[in-house]
Amino acid sequence: MRRAKPIHRILALLFDLAISYAIAILIMFESIVALIDAVRSQDSAAIFALFGSSLFSGGILIIFLILYFLILPLKWKGQTIGKKFFKLRIVKLDGTSVDFMTLFIREVIGRLLMAMMSVGLSTVVNGFTLTLNDNRLVFHDVLASTQVVDVE
């Protein structure tokens, strides 16, 4: 089992982000329109409509992201669409398949929460770590005891 090249990991992530951002815009479209309306009219009804549509579409977006980054790799043996396209797979350090809790620790705690708490700085640090470190593991890999490998 050979660990994935940094450029392939980065491209797979960008591919996944492009897909998830495009779908997020579609999901949030009604809220975006409500925001524009609320700013234009500054009416309390428009602001209330913005609040309601944001709660609804935000909930749908969270469900989509859970499905994409947790359930999809669980069902596709450690692959998202981006990883499948670039022939990569997430596995545990011992080479076994990832389970839900491992993916949750990796994606939610290791990637999302750290990015939010560090205002995105952890993403930059992960990029440098990935390209400069011979073991090709980044923070969320170490935290969840995972690695990204080439699919043979």
**The pLDDT value given to residue 115:** 76
- How far is it, in rounded angstroms, from Cα 128 to Cα 138? 9
Q: Which of 74, 33, 40 is nearest to 54 (CA)?
A: 33
What residues contact 81, with CB distance under 8 A and at least 6 apart?
Answer: 15, 16, 19, 72
- How far is it, in rounded angstroms, from Cα 54 to Cα 61? 10
pLDDT band at 68 (very low <50, low <70, confident <90, very high): very high
pLDDT band at 136 (very low <50, low <70, confident <90, very high): confident
**The pLDDT value given to residue 25:** 95
Q: Which of 32-36, 109-113, 118-122 has the lowest mean pLDDT?
A: 118-122
Beta bridge partners of 89: 149
Percent of the chain with pLDDT strictly greater than 90: 62
Q: Which of 48, 86, 60, 90 is nearest to 72 (CA)?
A: 90
